[in-house]
Each structure stands twice: as structure tokens, then as C-alpha cells.
């Protein structure tokens, strides 16, 4: 078979990516230690030494989530698969789920409920505003047969934080399991799974953990595990069925049952990323994100940018801002990328073309990046 004429295979060489500063909504800059971990010698996914690595990843994931949940692991796929893992395991055909939508990613939760055969009861809030607990409680009262409450802790499309503790307590009060998106919040702001009573929580590797994209840390409470083990129907996804996957991740010292070939080198990187969180300490890591957010905020406001989200609910790691009047946001982002090797994100959905999303996540949350970003903006504007 002849290849299309536009492809000249003989001209293709190894890919050498440009060295950019990543200050968008993710991925974030990767620390050299994590990059080095990726290149370590590959071993088998059932090798006893790799099983030890998995045990350590599990322990450190429990630490970053602040939980003792036994079913805590890393899904071998990105945060979107972590989301699906929570929904396909906890939502059965006919189940009713309260879904909070205040941005793009709440909408994806609704889609998951419906694809599982469930009924989504939507609680909607204005984009850029947190989920309103009063509206949630009204929905829970109106639908006493609801089994799940799903919401986004840190909405990546708008940079707003909702009160996960209050929402999870409401879920428990009304007999629901909570499903919580912490893709942008984990390791950037507090996520206290046990203290807040969270039931099924997922995140991504590429944001405040500063690992390579493509992995999703998840954790399930005892209540969630009970639901998974007592389902009336099979989990619709074989790959994400926790009844099967939990036997691969298992508990320390137990024999692992083969489920899939784990991404060995990517998990080396996750191990290193989690180790770096532990070495820094969660309190110090949260404080670092906040400190650099304040410095960035001061500089942006001097340049005429204004924030979308009220200060009380603002994410330090994801700054959603309106540009000064009269500026072409797409053209300026292009200039930053081409002339300064700096990536910032545009708006999504209702805010496409209207806001920027400037990330200070993980290794990207450092003084050098704040100063570089502000300097580049002053020059371009």
C-alpha cells in the first residue's frame, strides 16, 4: 500500500520538543528528578521489585489524599479515566445521581452518569461561582432516592473552589456516596479525604503533582467499596472494574493477580513525584502555591488584568483572569508561546476567547516562573 504523498517518511527524525515554561491549566513543568525517573531501567510489571514500588506508591498516594482507604491506587490512564473509574463502579443502570455543574468538568460528570444508565439530577451554578450547598441540599431533599452526589472540587475551566467538606457532609447526611473531582486541587490546596468524609475521589498526575500526563490517583472509602462489591450488575468497563483492579494493587505483602501491564516507567515518575510531595510536606506545598499566587496576582493586577473568581473561592494554582480592554487574547498567547516559549491557557466553553487560565501548579509554582511570566507580559503588552 502506498503512503500518502504528503508523508515523506525518510524525512522524519527523532522528536526534540521545544523547551517551554508550562503555565497553563496543565500539564505543569516536570522537575528534573521526575524526568530522570522516567528513564530508569524497565522491569516487569509483576517483578517483586516493582510490586514494592506499587506498595510505596499506594502509601504515598494515601498521604497526599490524607486517607487510610485501602482501595487507593493509580489508574493506568489520565484523570478522565479516573473519573470514569469512579462513575462506572458506583453508578448502576437506574441509579439517580445529583450532579453539580459550574463549569466544563461538571458537565462531563453528567455525561458519565448517563452513559452508566443512571439519571442525572443537575444542580447548576454560574460559571466562576462555587457550587451552592443550599441548592444541593434542596436537590437531595427533592430526590431522597438519589444514591450519588458528584461535584468538582477545583473547576479547571474557571479557577473556582467549591466547599468539598460541606458538600461531602451533605452527601453523607442524605445517604449518598460522594464522587469528587480533585484533578486540579490535589497537592495544590488541601484535600482531606478522611476528615471530610469523601467517598470516591480522582485526580490527575500532570497538574499539582507535576508528573507526566497519563496517570490518575484514585481512592475509595469503605462505603464506596461496599457498594462496588454488592452491585446488582457488572461494572460496564472491564479495564476499570475495581473488583478486578483491586486484586492487582492489593495490600502490602499479598500476592498480586495479573490484571493489565502497568505503565512501569510512568509509575517510576509517579513514585518520584509523590516522594517529592512527602519530602516537602503538604502544608509547605500548599503554602508555596499560595505565596506565588499572591505575587502573580499583584503583577497581573498592575498590568490591568482582573480575576474572574471572588477571592474567597479563588484557586491559587489556577488563575482565571480577564485581559485588559482592547487586547487580542489569542494573538498575545501566540506571541508568548512563539517569542517567549511560555504557555498559558485560553478559556473553555462559555469563557472561550474571554479569559486566560494561568497555572501555578507543582514545579511551575516558583518565583522564577512568576517573574518570567510577568516580564514576558510586560514586553508583549
- In CATH terms, are 19-28+282-380 and 32-278 the same topology? no
Question: Residue 105: pLDDT above 60?
Answer: yes
Q: Are 224 and 78 in contact (CB under 8 A)?
A: no
Question: Residue 269: pLDDT above 60?
Answer: yes
Supply the pLDDT for residue 98.
98
Question: Residue 66: pLDDT above 80?
Answer: yes
Supply the pLDDT for residue 251.
65
- 291 HSE (CA, 13 A, CB side): 13
CA-to-CA distance for 267 and 139, rounded, in angstroms? 40
Helix (H) or strand (E) holding 307: strand 306-307
Global pTM value:
0.96
CA 110 to chain centre: 17
Supply the pLDDT for residue 6.
65
Helix (H) or strand (E) holding 346: strand 345-346
CA-to-CA distance for 131 and 125, rounded, in angstroms? 6
Helix (H) or strand (E) holding 380: helix 367-380
Q: Which 8-state DSSP code applies to residue 13?
A: -
Q: Which 8-state DSSP code applies to residue 69?
A: -
Question: Residue 1: pLDDT above 60?
Answer: no
CATH architecture assignment, domain 32-278: 3-Layer(aba) Sandwich (3.40)
CA-to-CA distance for 314 and 296, rounded, in angstroms? 13
Return the C-alpha cell found at 19. Answer: 523547551
**Mean pLDDT, residues 221-243 taken together:** 96
**Mean pLDDT, residues 317-323 taken together:** 98
Quick: pLDDT tens for 181-216.
999 999 999 999 999 999 999 999 999 999 999 999
Quick: pLDDT tens for 278-308.
999 999 999 999 999 999 999 999 999 999 9
Supply the pLDDT for residue 48.
92
CATH architecture assignment, domain 19-28+282-380: Alpha-Beta Complex (3.90)
Supply the pLDDT for residue 364.
98
List the chain domain ranges.
19-28+282-380, 32-278
Supply the pLDDT for residue 11.
82
Using only the alpha carbons of the chain, give its radius of gyration.
21
Amino acid at each position: 500500500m502506498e503512503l500518502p504523498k504528503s508523508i515523506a517518511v525518510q524525512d522524519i527524525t527523532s522528536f526534540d520538543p521545544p523547551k517551554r515554561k508550562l503555565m497553563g491549566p496543565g500539564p505543569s513543568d516536570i522537575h528534573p528528578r521526575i524526568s530522570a525517573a522516567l528513564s530508569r531501567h524497565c522491569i516487569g510489571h509483576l517483578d517483586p521489585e516493582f510490586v514494592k514500588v506499587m506498595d510505596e506508591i499506594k502509601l504515598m498516594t494515601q498521604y497526599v489524599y490524607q486517607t487510610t482507604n485501602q482501595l487507593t491506587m493509580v489508574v493506568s490512564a489520565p484523570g478522565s479515566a479516573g473519573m470514569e473509574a469512579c462513575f462506572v463502579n458506583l453508578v448502576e443502570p437506574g441509579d439517580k445521581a445529583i450532579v453539580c455543574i459550574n463549569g466544563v468538568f461538571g458537565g462531563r460528570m453528567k455525561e458519565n452518569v448517563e452513559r452508566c444508565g443512571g439519571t442525572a439530577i443537575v444542580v447548576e451554578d454560574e460559571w466562576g461561582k462555587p457550587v451552592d450547598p443550599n441548592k444541593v441540599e434542596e436537590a437531595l431533599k427533592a430526590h431522597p432516592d438519589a444514591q450519588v452526589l458528584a461535584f468538582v472540587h477545583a473547576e479547571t475551566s474557571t479557577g473556582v473552589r467549591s466547599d468539598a467538606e460541606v458538600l461531602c457532609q451533605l452527601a453523607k447526611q442524605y445517604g449518598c456516596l460522594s464522587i469528587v473531582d480533585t484533578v486540579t486541587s490535589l497537592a495544590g490546596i488541601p484535600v482531606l479525604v478522611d476528615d471530610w468524609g469523601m467517598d470516591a475521589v480522582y485526580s490527575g498526575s500532570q497538574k499539582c503533582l507535576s508528573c507526566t500526563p497519563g496517570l490518575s490517583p484514585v481512592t475509595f472509602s469503605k462505603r464506596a467499596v461496599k457498594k462496588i462489591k454488592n452491585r446488582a450488575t457488572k461494572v460496564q468497563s472491564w479495564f476499570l472494574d475495581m473488583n478486578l483492579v483491586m486484586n492487582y494493587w492489593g495490600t502490602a505483602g499479598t500476592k498480586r493477580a495479573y490484571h493489565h501491564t502497568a505503565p512501569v516507567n510512568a509509575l517510576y515518575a509517579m513514585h518520584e513525584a509523590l516522594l517529592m510531595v512527602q519530602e516537602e510536606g503538604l502544608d509547605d506545598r500548599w503554602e508555596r502555591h499560595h505565596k506565588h499566587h499572591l505575587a502573580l496576582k499583584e503583577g497581573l493586577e498592575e498590568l490591568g488584568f482582573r480575576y474572574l473568581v471572588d477571592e474567597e473561592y479563588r484557586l491559587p494554582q489556577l488563575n482565571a483572569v480577564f485581559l485588559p480592554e482592547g487586547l487580542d487574547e489569542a494573538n498575545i498567547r501566540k506571541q508568548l508561546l512563539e517569542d517567549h516559549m511560555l504557555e498559558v491557557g485560553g478559556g473553555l466553553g462559555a469563557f472561550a476567547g474571554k479569559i486566560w487560565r494561568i497555572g501555578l501548579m507543582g514545579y511551575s509554582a516558583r518565583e522564577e516562573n512568576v517573574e518570567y511570566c510577568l516580564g514576558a507580559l510586560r514586553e508583549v503588552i
